[in-house]
Chain A
Amino acid sequence: GNSVTQMEGPVTLSEEAFLTINCTYTATGYPSLFWYVQYPGEGLQLLLKATKADDKGSNKGFEATYRKETTSFHLEKGSVQVSDSAVYFCALKLNAGGTSYGKLTFGQGTILTVHP
């Protein structure tokens, strides 16, 4: 089946620290990959995406590179801020085949807390 595995949280960092949140996937096919962020009390916001191997998605200082050989899509940011505190979700979307078309399969989410 299709699945996404994220590193266990919570992750606690000091402001300006380097962030990595690991994400690996299993997919029957060639998926598109996404990172969504959920701030406290809010819905999911698209952070970035990549649709093919070696693509790099980037937004607001966050980056992730689609690595097909390692089936990974790790999220990184060079210098986190307190305002980055949120839950981060990695997700995949298959692009062909039966009833799985279109739906997102999410990882379990990683809670990030950034202290001043």
Chain B
Amino acid sequence: DSGVTQTPKHLITATGQRVTLRCSPRSGDLSVYWYQQSLDQGLQFLIQYYNGEERAKGNILERFSAQQFPDLHSELNLSSLELGDSALYFCASSVGGARQETQYFGPGTRLLVL
């Protein structure tokens, strides 16, 4: 158990809908990262938050957004869902600085868009 929690574990929804994925980092970790794992794209970085502020953006679609709250939990919002958004979404939180920084991953949310 990494100490990172994600809810829900599974999500089934329809095209055009909107969903929210939730992540609670390990106690004391200020950084939260979101990644998408799909068969065709592999594991891709989406976005990073540090202590409530957006720090870096990757291949995140405009239909997707995220935020980190004062208690450091984070939410990833996916809207106008398409079939191709079906994937496993991971969050990770990190400890250590610069070269020593290490990310610990949650169990993921499996999203199926029908």
Contacts and interface: CB of A to CB of B under 8 A. Distances in A.
A104 interface: yes
A46 B102 contact: yes
Interface in B9-48: 31, 33, 35, 42-45, 48
A9 interface: no
Which bucket holds chain A's interface residue count? 20 to 34
A39 B96 CA distance: 25
A50 B56 CA distance: 23
Interface of B: 2, 31, 33, 35, 42-45, 48, 55-58, 90, 92, 94, 98-108
Interface stretch (A10-18, A19-27, A72-80, A105-113): A105-113
Interface of A: 32, 34, 36, 42-46, 49, 51-52, 89, 93, 95-96, 99-109
Given A89-B43, A102-B55, A106-B42, A49 B48 contact: no
Contact of A103 (B48, B99, B100, B105): B48
Given A104-B45, A105-B45, A106-B42, A45 B56 contact: no
Interface centre among B2, B90, B99 (most CB of A within 10 A): B99
Nearest to A34: B102
B110 to A, nearest CB: 9
Given A99-B57, A101-B55, A42 B107 contact: yes
A46 B101 CA distance: 12
Contacts of B107: 42-43
17 contacts: A32-B100, A42-B107, A43-B90, A43-B105, A43-B108, A46-B103, A46-B104, A51-B99, A51-B100, A93-B101, A100-B56, A101-B55, A102-B101, A103-B48, A104-B33, A106-B44, A109-B42
Contacts of B94: 102
A49 to B, nearest CB: 6
